Amino acid sequence: MRMRTTAATAAVVGALALSVLAAPSAQADGRYGDITITKVTVNGGENVVVGTSAVKKFSVTVTAKDDSGIEAADIDLRGPAFGYLSSSDTRCSGNTCTAKFTVDPKVDLLYSNDVAGTWYVGAWVDANDGDFISTEKAKSFKFQRASRLSANASPEPVKKGKTLTVTGKLERANWDTFKYHGYTKQPVKLQFKKKGAKSYTTVKTVKTSSTGTLKTTVKASADG
């Protein structure tokens, strides 16, 4: 019987503060001419997830349209409580401008668990003919504290109709201590994959304890 557990809300949104005291004043939205922003992508369309030690590098692309072509762009990221990230390198090719960002949790995220995780892309794009467009919220995205889930099912193998006990722990990155701590009162899905099936189905959802641990039992209804 093949079982697995997954956090019901993957990589749950956590807190973030980046260069809080250094954040400049936001540019007001504005536009001159017929230039438009047509597409914004953050981290390839994935949430930005940061752990306790590894440096996180990701890119933001802004695609714009103007009949004269795109000359340059200024791209930054802003979050609640004055969270701010500036690009280390921004280059334009054709109509698309790419900004690179780097986050070192032990430098940029020190003592910052109290800041929420919805962030916005701010963009100023210049066209070759002098047209420009500026927006503080070109795109929203989630900047998350990394979470990890460990689990064990026993006994294995288990016969059909017998009870299977599943134990585990859900943890989330803590930027005060730079360690992983138990993530409490969070839903975790217990999933089962029948023999020959291509995907898992959820058989039970349990909540983690006050320390992030979980324990539950299920009946083995089929071979898997």
Flag whether 124 is in a domain.
yes
Flag whether 70 is in a domain.
yes
Domain endpoint, select from 122, 145, 168: 145
Task: State whether 121 and 73 are in the same domain.
Answer: yes
- Quote the distance between the C-alpha of residue 105 and its chain's center: 14
User: For the chain, give me the number of helices (H) and strands (E)?
Assistant: 1, 17
* pTM of the full structure: 0.80
Task: State whether 162 and 195 are in the same domain.
Answer: yes
Number of structural domains, the chain?
Answer: 2
**DSSP H or E run through 106:** helix 105-108
Distance CA 159, CA 217 (A): 14
Which CATH number goes with the domain that contains 77?
Answer: 2.60.40.1930
Nearest by Cα to 123 from 68, 80, 70: 70
- Mean pLDDT over the full length of the chain: 86
Of 92 and 161, the structure prediction assigns the larger pLDDT to: 92
Task: State whether 43 and 130 are in the same domain.
Answer: yes
Flag whether 79 is in a domain.
yes
Task: State whether 57 and 133 are in the same domain.
Answer: yes
Highest mean pLDDT among 24-38, 97-111, 146-160, 210-224: 97-111
Task: State whether 84 and 169 are in the same domain.
Answer: no
pLDDT band at 11 (very low <50, low <70, confident <90, very high): very low
Distance CA 144, CA 116 (A): 9
Write down the pLDDT at residue 44: 98
Write down the pLDDT at residue 154: 87
Please report, for residues 37, 76, 120, 165, 204, the alpha-carbon distance to residue 199 in angstroms, rounded to integers and kept in the order given.
Answer: 39, 39, 34, 22, 16
pLDDT band at 67 (very low <50, low <70, confident <90, very high): very high
Domain of 69 in residue numbering reads as 20-145
**Angle at alpha carbon of residue 72, lines to 69 and 78, rounded to 5°:** 125
Task: State whether 115 and 163 are in the same domain.
Answer: no
Domain endpoint, select from 103, 120, 145: 145
Domain endpoint, select from 115, 130, 145: 145
Task: State whether 35 and 138 are in the same domain.
Answer: yes
Task: State whether 79 and 93 are in the same domain.
Answer: yes
Is the pLDDT confidence value at 9 over 90? no
Distance CA 133, CA 126 (A): 7
Nearest by Cα to 218 from 163, 167, 169, 168: 163
Task: State whether 63 and 111 are in the same domain.
Answer: yes
Flag whether 120 is in a domain.
yes
Flag whether 198 is in a domain.
yes
Write down the pLDDT at residue 134: 98
Task: State whether 101 and 193 are in the same domain.
Answer: no
Distance CA 122, CA 175 (A): 25
Distance CA 160, CA 195 (A): 12
